[in-house]
């Protein structure tokens, strides 16, 4: 069985009825659970209304670093992530590739998320791009040792992955790894310890080969798994079992399905 550790079901261009079919399609491909990740605290309730009816979908709450217009106060963030149905804080982080000019806003928001995660004892979901130094430094400065999480949709260096893993973090790989242009990432993925690896779609974006050009869906996490398994020279069963176990270990509030 597989888990899509990071998707945005509320961002799919689908009606409520079509979303039911999407979740069913994932289940048919043995995707037993999906984590629907918020990009804005302000939009969390709308996301919740769309996905809370699915017993195999969990939710996070936070503000994406590129959603600067949605940045909220620390108190508002803390109140939101304290909710019982929120299993993680984020996504949060730093993105200097698309929005270096908002660096100061991003940093303060990231610090707020780290501090909130310390309080609620829930894992962080981190988006990081072209911000290696600041991401690691802010984590080291503001996180408590028990606060861990995941660097999602990872495309950065092996050095950064190792620094995060040393702090207890996991590394999640999306469909980008299947792209012909992703040779450096592929080499990095070969060296990430299996007990620190997660897989994701980041749906509706970044559809893996052979679905490029189409709206991405959680079912496609299986294609990511097959590619990584072949890359690492292991069976897809071993890859699936490891990444699924890692998911439930990190996101400990999520209940494993009864089988």
Torsion of CA 143, 251, 37, 76, to 10 degrees: -50
CA distance 92 to 230: 31
β-pairing verdict for 170-173 and 124-129: unpaired
Question: What's the pLDDT at 35?
Answer: 98
Query: To which CATH superfamily is domain 2-250 assigned?
Result: Metal-dependent hydrolases (3.20.20.140)
Give the contacts of 123 (CB within 8 A, at least 6 positions apart).
87, 88, 89, 117, 147, 148, 149, 150, 250, 251
Check whether 8 is labelled as a binding-site residue.
yes
Question: What's the pLDDT at 55?
Answer: 95
Question: What's the pLDDT at 200?
Answer: 98
Residue 235, exposed/middle/buried by CB under 10 A (0-12, 13-18, 19+)?
exposed
Give the contacts of 153 (CB within 8 A, at least 6 positions apart).
6, 127, 172, 173, 174, 176, 200, 202, 206
Check whether 67 is labelled as a binding-site residue.
no
Question: What's the pLDDT at 69?
Answer: 87
Question: What's the pLDDT at 259?
Answer: 58
Question: What's the pLDDT at 124?
Answer: 98
Check whether 33 is labelled as a binding-site residue.
no
Question: What's the pLDDT at 100?
Answer: 87
**pLDDT block averages, 10 residues each, the chain of length 259:** 98 95 98 98 96 97 93 97 98 94 96 98 98 98 98 98 98 98 98 98 97 97 98 98 98 86
């Amino acid at each position: 069985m597989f888990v899509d550790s990071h998707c945005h079901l509320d961002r799919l261009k689908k009606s409520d009825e079509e979303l039911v079919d999407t979740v069913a399609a994932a289940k048919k491909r043995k995707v037993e659970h999906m984590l629907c990740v918020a990009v804005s605290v302000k939009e969390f309730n709308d996301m919740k209304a769309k996905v809370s009816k699915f017993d195999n979908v969990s939710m996070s709450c936070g503000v994406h670093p590129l959603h600067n217009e949605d940045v909220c106060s620390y108190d508002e963030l803390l109140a939101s992530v304290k909710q019982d149905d929120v299993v993680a804080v984020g996504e949060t982080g730093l993105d200097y590739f698309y929005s270096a000019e908002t660096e100061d806003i991003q940093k303060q928001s990231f610090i707020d998320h780290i501090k909130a995660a310390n309080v609620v004892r829930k894992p962080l979901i981190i988006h990081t791009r072209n911000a290696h130094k600041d991401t690691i430094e802010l984590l080291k400065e503001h996180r408590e040792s028990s606060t861990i999480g995941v660097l999602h949709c990872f495309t950065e260096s092996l050095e950064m992955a190792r620094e995060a893993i040393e702090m207890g973090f996991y590394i999640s790989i999306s469909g980008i790894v299947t792209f012909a242009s992703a040779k450096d990432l592929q080499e990095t993925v070969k060296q990430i310890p299996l007990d620190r690896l997660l897989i994701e779609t980041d749906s509706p974006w970044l559809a893996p080969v052979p679905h490029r050009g189409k709206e991405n869906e959680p079912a496609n996490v299986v294609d990511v798994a097959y590619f990584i398994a072949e890359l690492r020279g292991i069976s897809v069963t071993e890859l699936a079992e490891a990444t699924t176990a890692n998911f439930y270990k990190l996101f400990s509030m999520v209940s494993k399905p009864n089988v």
